[in-house]
Amino acid sequence: MSKIFHPSIYKSNLKRMWILPVLYGIGLVVFSPYLLSRSIKISGYSTGSKGANEIFAGYFQEILASPWLSFIVCIICAISVFSYLYRTRDSYMIHAFPVDRRSLFLTAVGTGFTMLTVPKLFVTIVTNIYTISVGAKVSGYLWGYFFEGVLIDVFFFGLASAVALCCGRTLSALITYVAANFLYVLLKEAIYWLIVKLRYGVVIADNDSFADVLTPTVYMDMKLNGTTDGYAISSDLFSSMKDALPVILVYALVGILFFGVAYVIYKYRHLETAGSFLSMEWTKPIVRWVGAIGTGVYLVIFVSVFESYDSVVGTMGSFAKWLLLILLFTAIAFIVFQMLIDHTLKVFSPRRMRELGLFAVCVCAVMVWLYADPLKNADHVPDPADIKNAAVAVRIDSELNFSEKADIEKITDFHKQLNREKKDSINKLMAGKEDHENVQITYTLSNGKLLIRSYEVWTGEEEKKRAGSVYNKMDAALSKPEQLKIAMFGKNYSKRKVREVDVPILTGNETVLEGITEKKKAAAVYEAVLRDIDEGNIKLWDQNNSEAESFIDISFDLDENDIKEDGWIKDYVSITIGEDAVNTKARLKEYGYN
């Protein structure tokens, strides 16, 4: 029975790579106490206050438990500790030593964890000393984030090790690892882009959270920051640290599984592949194809940036153009990847050409399917009986939500009309007509699925005058004061505590914001705004219309402790008011703002 861990190789590894943990540690220490002290000073919070503690917690998370930082450091660590596998000389030499692959693997993993954890532990201790010295009681935050940071490292280091062992070259490990972390989401976005291009006006999304889970860096960061899709889920960062723990634990367990995969790969890895792009035969077609398709689609997206939007929608000619471009770019990427894998320019074998031919047939089939939409997926409008909630986003940052059957029916009605008028809408876009507004409709179905559709709505005078136009139907369906107030200020709009109201004042040629800081006055302005919404004096279509002369934007600074109670994230809300907002204007005039 041989040893499972070799202290002499471990020491030799650390001696060789000492610069990495030292630089990492120095970086963390410089950023931690230095930036902390600056931030507290700038914020004006007194040490030990809740605000100061929030700032501390934010920094600890960014420094000790940042998935992004962990992502980068773990790549470097994995590539470093398994670097001997990328050099033929080292690879043969170390495997001729009286050590088996299991102990070499465990020793490399041990070295990596030391390089990841010791700097983190060091900075935790230094920061702890610093915070205690300035009178802040935040040790709980610190050690909590340290622990979570270690767990995040377990996940990323496990993933990085599995990828690094698949690859024969350092660079390919890097490329493959980044791809492994982001490929799913990037490909999903690319496919959406294709669908939008081919089926104008349609965005389809089923469940975003699944995609997020497969992008661990983003997902963990979101959980640690206490947000999901822009909405607060925790009352403070310390709670979000606790809330994020189960998710991070699951990732850490997956990380352990990755270590298992990495070990199996190492055990069966051929050493003669040290200089190859990939070390495992079975990964070659995967890399060749996923790399080729990914690169091909992204190149097409890149090219599309230089094309006007109008020229790519709708027409059969555009469809053929994009189809050909995708085929061309993917074929080029396919050949390049094959050259990298085989280390030769001679990759035009009949077998590879057959593969490319098959690919071309598949791409054509998929594109034709998307274009023809035989299942009428693009124009699908769910039955109102199957809809739990319909949300419409237009003009304002937040959506207007409707759950009453009558309201939902109105929305599906104008939605159907949007589909019917789609062709006409495309023609107008292609003719370069203006006065259109993007509207996004999101249905939450009874089975929990989301169905999202996006369109351009025509909003010019002609549409306003035309009876039964989509604009008029939307106006009738969406002009609900209650929904508008919720969309602007959250469910508990009536209980909001306003800290300040900012009003634009024209001084000379410049417009500056002046604040009404007296709480009583600020509350009175807020109350007047709510009354104007109720009386129909502030409308949805007025919002973000401040370019018009008679409209101005006023902003409300809301008490953040109050808004977090009902999960509302916006503590600074801007609304647009026009001449009709009589109550608000009167109140502002009373306080000296004309």
Partner 1 sequence: MIKAEHLTKYFGEFKALSDASLHVKEGSIYGLVGPNGAGKSTIIRHITGAMRADSGNVFVSGENVYENARVKSMMAYIPDDIFYNNSDTLIDLKNLYKGLYKDFDEELFKKMEECFPAIDVKKTVRSYSKGMQKQAAFYLSICTRPKIMILDEPVDGLDPVMRRQIWSIILSDVAENGTSVLISSHNLRELEDVCDHVGIMDHGKVILERSLEELQGNVTKFQMAFSGEKPEIPGELDVMHSEISKSLVTLIIRGNAEIINEKLLKLDPLFLDMIPLTLEEVFIYEMGGEGYDVKNISSVDIQK
Which residues form the interface with partner 1 (CB under 8 A)? 2-3, 6-9, 11-12, 15-16, 84, 89-101, 103, 270-272
Q: How far is the CB of 81 from partner 1 (least distance, A)?
A: 13
Q: How far is the CB of 281 from partner 1 (least distance, A)?
A: 9
Give the span between the Cα atoms of 446 and 149, in whole angstroms. 39
Q: Is 135 left (phi over 0), alpha (psi -120 to 50) or beta?
A: left
Q: How far is the CB of 165 from partner 1 (least distance, A)?
A: 16
Give the span between the Cα atoms of 357 and 351, in whole angstroms. 10
Q: How far is the CB of 272 from partner 1 (least distance, A)?
A: 6
How many Cβ atoms are within 10 Å of 592's Cβ, its own excluded? 10
Cβ closest to partner 1, residue 88 vs residue 479: 88
Cβ closest to partner 1, residue 34 vs residue 97: 97
Run of H or E including 511: strand 510-516
Asked whether the beta carbons of 222 and 124 are under 8 A apart, the reply is: no
Cβ closest to partner 1, residue 92 vs residue 210: 92
Cβ closest to partner 1, residue 81 vs residue 522: 81
**Cα separations (Å) of 513 from 429, 501, 530, 554, 557?**
37, 9, 21, 9, 13
Cβ closest to partner 1, residue 6 vs residue 197: 6
Contacts of 203 (CB under 8 A, 6+ apart): 192, 195, 196, 440, 452, 453, 454
Q: How far is the CB of 282 from partner 1 (least distance, A)?
A: 14
Which two structure tokens, joined as six digits, stand for 290? 């996923």
Asked whether the beta carbons of 123 and 64 are under 8 A apart, the reply is: yes
Q: How far is the CB of 100 from partner 1 (least distance, A)?
A: 5
Phi, psi of 215 (to 5 degrees): -120, 75
What SS3 state is found at 547? coil
Q: How far is the CB of 193 from partner 1 (least distance, A)?
A: 38
| DSSP, res 503 | E
Cβ closest to partner 1, residue 227 vs residue 283: 283
Cβ closest to partner 1, residue 11 vs residue 416: 11
Cβ closest to partner 1, residue 90 vs residue 559: 90
Q: Answer positive or negative: Cα dihedral of 477, 479, 480, 483.
A: positive
Cβ closest to partner 1, residue 2 vs residue 507: 2
Q: How far is the CB of 223 from partner 1 (least distance, A)?
A: 41
Q: How far is the CB of 113 from partner 1 (least distance, A)?
A: 20
Cβ closest to partner 1, residue 13 vs residue 442: 13
Q: Give the distance from CA 334 to its chain's centroid.
A: 29
Give the residue among 553, 576, 551, 573 at the shortest CA–CA distance from 562: 573
Sheet holding 552-558, edge to edge: 510-516, 498-507, 552-558, 572-577
Q: How far is the CB of 89 from partner 1 (least distance, A)?
A: 5
Pairs from 336-341 (Cβ < 8 Å, separation ≥ 24): 336/295, 337/287, 337/288, 337/291, 337/292, 337/295, 338/288, 340/172, 340/277, 341/276, 341/277, 341/278, 341/284, 341/287, 341/288
